[in-house]
Amino acid sequence: MRILPILAIFTGVVLASCGSLDSGDGSGAGEGQTLTIYSSRHYDSDYALYEAFEEETGVTVEAIEADGDLLIERVKAAGDQSPADVIITVDAGRLWRAEQEELFAPVSSAVLEERVPANMRHPDGLWFAVATRARVIVYAEDRVDGGDLTGYASLADPAFRRRVCARSSGNVYNISLLAALIDRWGSDTAQQWANGVNANFARDPLGGDSDQIRAVAAGECDVAIVNHYYFARLMGTEPEVTDGLAVFWPNAEAGVHVNISGMGMSRNAPNPELAQQFLEFAVSDRAQRFFAELTNEYPAVASVTYENAALAELGDFEADPLAATVLGENQAEAQRLFDRAGWQ
């Protein structure tokens, strides 16, 4: 396996190997072939996935990594000369952007259609969810009564004036959340929500999701909106930060907003058969467990069982069944509402 940063002078190549899998008679079938993956993810779960695919097939995986928007531009600029077989990116909004640039080739696969829920895949097979993440509210237990939180609407309640922390409005996670709320409430109510949250900020939006959690722990704010896996990660690596904090699941109305990381075959894939084989392998039970057990995400395949003490402690929730395609379709409107609200 080779991991290459997209703009790097190609040094620091990561060479990796892993133990054998119960691969059956498919082992070695792709000996000598190379599958090129362009990915905006850089997690242990993905490296384990690549290594497992190599062991299963004998194919060498070369992963090119970059930020989501840069990744899309790189594949677009290369056109017919792009070496990408598979494109992986985070957030349905970025999948939608790649789709608009016609970077994906449709894949017809009974395996993918059976394993990935319909609301987490493109209706024409352009992309498929590989992992999911929930947008939750983190709060300080000594300063917030969990009973005062009812859903995402609580963040705009005047009772939380100067008590909320969040990332910038340009962050794709926030854009996708508001895109979902536009579908749920309509644009007018979603605008009022964005206005209300902006009025409730304890400080100007800055930093990533982990920074929001640390700000609540430090007393800079009392509540914050984050993806669940940032909290789960800190539970293991910095328990002193999460001690005294709790996660509230905004189950009210349609349920908790869930976003996806997704994958698709590149339109100009040099190895389309290998690309489809990888997509199907990525939704196998063994591969799906990597995302839960190594990255604290939830598998895209709901039937997969896994062991993760942090996720077990966070508890169960009810996911919004909204089609992920809507998050891309409402993206531009969501950004307009943020801009009107003055959310930086």
> Which residues form the domain of 152?
133-257+316-341
What helix, strand, coil percent values describe the chain, rounded to 5? 45, 20, 35
Q: Are 150 and 242 in a shared domain?
A: yes
Gap between the Cα atoms of 58 and 47, Å rounded:
16
Phi and psi angles of residue 312, each rounded to the nearest 5 degrees, phi first: -65, -40
* CATH at 296: 3.40.190.10
Q: Are 140 and 49 in a shared domain?
A: no
Q: Are 98 and 33 in a shared domain?
A: yes
Position 329 scores a pLDDT of 96
Q: Are 155 and 104 in a shared domain?
A: no
Domain total in the chain: 2
Position 67 scores a pLDDT of 83
Q: Are 29 and 141 in a shared domain?
A: no
Q: Are 126 and 141 in a shared domain?
A: no
Query: Do the Cβ atoms of 49 and 18 come closer than 8 Å?
Result: no
Q: Are 326 and 300 in a shared domain?
A: no
Q: Are 83 and 16 in a shared domain?
A: yes
Position 30 scores a pLDDT of 63
DSSP state of 328: H
Q: Are 281 and 326 in a shared domain?
A: no
Find residue 262's DSSP bridge partners.
89, 129
Q: Is 15 exposed, middle or buried, given 0-12, 13-18 or 19+ CB atoms closer than 10 A?
A: exposed
Position 1 scores a pLDDT of 85
Q: Are 11 and 101 in a shared domain?
A: yes
What is the DSSP pairing of strand 164-165 with strand 258-266?
unpaired
Which stretch of DSSP H or E encloses residue 129? strand 128-140
Q: Are 272 and 166 in a shared domain?
A: no
pLDDT in single tens digits along all 344 residues of the chain: 888 776 442 333 332 333 333 333 344 456 679 999 999 999 999 999 999 999 999 999 999 998 878 889 989 998 999 999 999 999 999 999 999 999 999 999 999 999 999 999 999 999 999 999 999 999 999 999 989 999 999 999 999 999 999 999 999 999 999 999 999 999 999 999 999 999 999 999 999 999 999 999 999 999 999 999 999 999 999 999 999 999 999 998 899 999 999 999 999 999 999 999 999 999 999 999 999 999 999 999 999 999 999 999 999 999 999 999 999 999 999 999 999 999 99
The encoded tokens of residue 52 equal 């497992």
List the one residue out of 217, 37, 45 whose CA is nearest residue 130.
Answer: 45
Q: Are 265 and 276 in a shared domain?
A: yes
C-alpha distances (whole Å) from 299 to each of 54, 114, 125, 258 are: 21, 14, 19, 12
Gap between the Cα atoms of 166 and 164, Å rounded:
7
pTM for the model stands at 0.90
